[in-house]
A and B are shown apart, each in its own frame.
Chain A
Amino acid sequence: MSVVGQAESAVLTKPLLTHELGSLAKPNWRVKAVAGAPIEERDLEDARDWGERLGVEDHEDLVELLRRAPLDATAMAEVKRWSSRYGVRLLETVGLDVVYDGEQQRSEMYQWAVAHAEGFEWRGTVRAFDNKYYSKAAVTGPIGLREPYHNEEFSFVREVARAELKVPITGAYTIADWSFDERYLGETSLGAPGRHKRRRDARRSFILDVARNLIRPNLEALIGLGARWLQIDEPGGSTEPDELDLFVESFNESVDGLDAAFSTHLCFSDYDLFFPGIEGMTGCRQFAVGFANYDSRDLGTGVEDRPGYRVLPRFRDLPYRPALAVGVLDIHTDFIEPPELVRDRVLHSVEVFGDPARIHVIPDCGLRTRSWEVAFRKLQHLVAGVELAKKDLRI
């Protein structure tokens, strides 16, 4: 059986499968230790408390390591691995079926990828919303993979984790869309004839070069290590509605012919824009999509009760019948969704799809803007809500 077949039979066809989605906040002890800042007693207590709560083996070794701060580079790397271990255990402890490490060893989804790529230069920090920012680079030279940038992390997480794994990887379209282009277009002319076509051609070349020369070799390296399920994160996927064809083309260029199961994550968009474009993403086994941000907090399973999920039929009707992982946790608030609200969002989704094996359950996006306490409770309620739904559906 191919690796794709193995992944599908192992996890992807499980009704109401639950999994994590992206990053968790980095604990203060991890941030301070890696930044060379002083570690305070409350940081040590935090490491100890969460270590006990999550059953992290030998966590007192971490506390002892932190006591030695400031740390050298080797010890800092060790702290990052500890943080990764804590992340895995948090996601396992709440009861998710498929986990990763909350991206504890990475800097940020875009920054981490670009930092390991050839052809980019940093241009400063740009705001995403409120007081949330990201570092933005410009493409200035030929794009290439400096070194596979998830191999070490994946090898470590596989060693630590007890649950099934899914590796999140930032997608080509998002990397290109979040970057400035100083190479492919390279002009600023106003009102010049043909500039719109030149802009479009330059975008296509840029996006596909990221797919072919950066993302694909990185995926190949992970598959070589035994990764079976790879999630291509594309929060930028629908940023430019007239480029959905490029988004789809970049996904296909990244994964076509590779022997693994591929899914993609979309969030905070007008999801209608993805149709009919994503009808061409036949290699995508699952779409993981954030909905709770747009939904009501009132209970109910009817269409009118669940305004955030109105686009579900369009995913249901995709000809290649992918699974849909429905976001049921709003990651932008500390509101803890009651299990009953999660249940109703799940039941509504199953009702629309008519098949619980095609519905998976996730947070809308990574929970990195929430405290661990809030993330833990939200995820606990996600799992509890799915159990309620299963009971209702007699699964």
Chain B
Amino acid sequence: MMVPAGSLAAAYQHGIYPRSEAVVAATRDLERGRTTPDHVDDAFRADRAAFLDAQREAGLDYLSDGLLRWQDLFRPLVEGAEGLEARVLVRWFDNNSFFRAPEVEGAPRLRDLPAWVLEDGVPEPRVATLPSPYVFSRAAPASGNQDDLMVGLTRDVLAPAAAALAAAGHGLVHLEEPWIPYAGIEEASWGPFEDAVAAVREATVGATLVLHAYYGDVGPHADRLRRLPVDAVGIDFVETDLEALPSPWGTGLLAGCLNGRSSLLEDPASVAAFVRRAAERLEPTALYLSSGSELELAGPAVASGKVGVLGEVARRLRQEAA
């Protein structure tokens, strides 16, 4: 079933959101013994409130806590699991940003997600962000078969985490997948990847599940991605040509339409026109709207502006469809 061009299911902001100057100062001071954990908690609470206000003001449909306390995309999973350790710093794709690789030591198994992940005080409807099974397994240094690792990590860590988040009221679970567009995927890995995504799907029944591919050209992988058992596949249109995607799309589309690594604010009218064109060409079964990549690397002032642009694009699309 296709949706009319411009008919928007939801707009939301995924991924880690940048910390304010106040949180930057507080966390720095804590490490240097110049302030207290309570002060840092207060700073994080103020940041979360400001981000919620920005999302509400923009009229976004799902609200996020901004993952403000997350040290990287994998850390809460590592901290909540036995059999995983975070030590070695590794570059986060082609960015001046790093994550600690989740190293497998024993049999990884989720105990509990950290309380601050689940009890985030964000009103519903809300969105949760997690790593996709593929990027999770490739970020983890392994001497054995990485596809087996992917299946195991998904079964015992990622899917239980997604289930916990869905049960805690996250109506949309967003899986970040930068690895495939950036570095590619072997043909033999598609099967295990599909099984892993299916395991997350099974764990999140009742929630909308989106898998978002970014940081590279999605075109070469689009045909396989759109067959995954998810409600929508996200495309980073900063890196991907619309004409390279198969049509009709055959599933939901998340249009990643803002450049999360540029300080320039997009023109809402131009972005809305592009998304309309994408919807007309691809005929997705549902249309979602977000940034092409997470906004953390844009810094707080720029990111706040981009959330406003996202809201304005959504408003224009809905106005046109009405």
Hey, which bits of chain A sit against chain B, CB under 8 A? Answer: 28, 123-131, 133-134, 136, 138, 177-178, 180-182, 186-191, 235-236, 239-241, 268-270, 293-294, 332
Contacts and interface: CB of A to CB of B under 8 A. Distances in A.
Contact of A127 (B32, B97, B237, B270): B97
Interface string B92-119: 0011111110000000000000000000
Given A123-B301, A188-B264, A191-B237, A128 B257 contact: no
Contact of B98 (A125, A129, A178, A191): A129
A315 to B, nearest CB: 19
B21 A126 contact: no
B307 interface: no
A191 B270 CA distance: 11
A243 to B, nearest CB: 9
14 contacts: A126-B97, A129-B71, A131-B27, A131-B30, A131-B31, A134-B96, A180-B262, A180-B264, A188-B262, A190-B274, A191-B242, A191-B277, A236-B96, A239-B91
Given A126-B299, A186-B264, A239 B24 contact: no
A188 B96 CA distance: 21
Which of B27, B32, B96, B274 has the most A CB atoms < 10 Å from its CB? B96
Given A129-B89, A240-B94, A123 B262 contact: no
B97 A189 contact: no
Contacts of A182: 263-264
A332 B270 CA distance: 44
Interface in B180-196: none
Given A128-B96, A240-B94, A332 B89 contact: yes
B71 A130 contact: yes
Contacts of A235: 96
In the A-B complex, the 9 residue pairs with the smallest Cβ-Cβ separation, listed nearest first, are A124-B299, A180-B263, A129-B98, A131-B27, A191-B242, A190-B237, A188-B266, A240-B94, A190-B274
A239 B27 CA distance: 26
Contacts, number: 104
Contacts of B21: 124-125
B241 A138 contact: no
Interface residues of B, number: 48
Contacts of B71: 129-131
A177 B19 CA distance: 21
A235 B277 CA distance: 40
B289 to A, nearest CB: 12
B301 A178 contact: no
B89 A125 contact: no
A129 B72 contact: yes
Contacts of A269: 91
Contacts of A125: 18-19, 21, 24, 299-300
A220 B87 CA distance: 41
Interface in B282-298: 296-298
A133 B257 contact: no
Contact of A124 (B31, B90, B264, B301): B301
B28 interface: yes
Contact of B274 (A124, A178, A191, A268): A191
Contacts of B243: 191
Contacts of A129: 71-72, 89, 97-100
B205 interface: no
A235 B100 CA distance: 17
A138 B305 CA distance: 16
B88 A190 contact: no
B267 interface: yes
A123 B274 contact: no
B67 to A, nearest CB: 12
Contact of B259 (A123, A130, A188): A188
B271 A133 contact: no
A240 B96 CA distance: 10
Contacts of B317: none
B238 to A, nearest CB: 7
Nearest to A186: B264
B94 A126 contact: no
Contacts of A180: 262-264, 302
Contacts of B267: 188
A144 B202 CA distance: 57
Contact of A268 (B91, B240, B262): B91
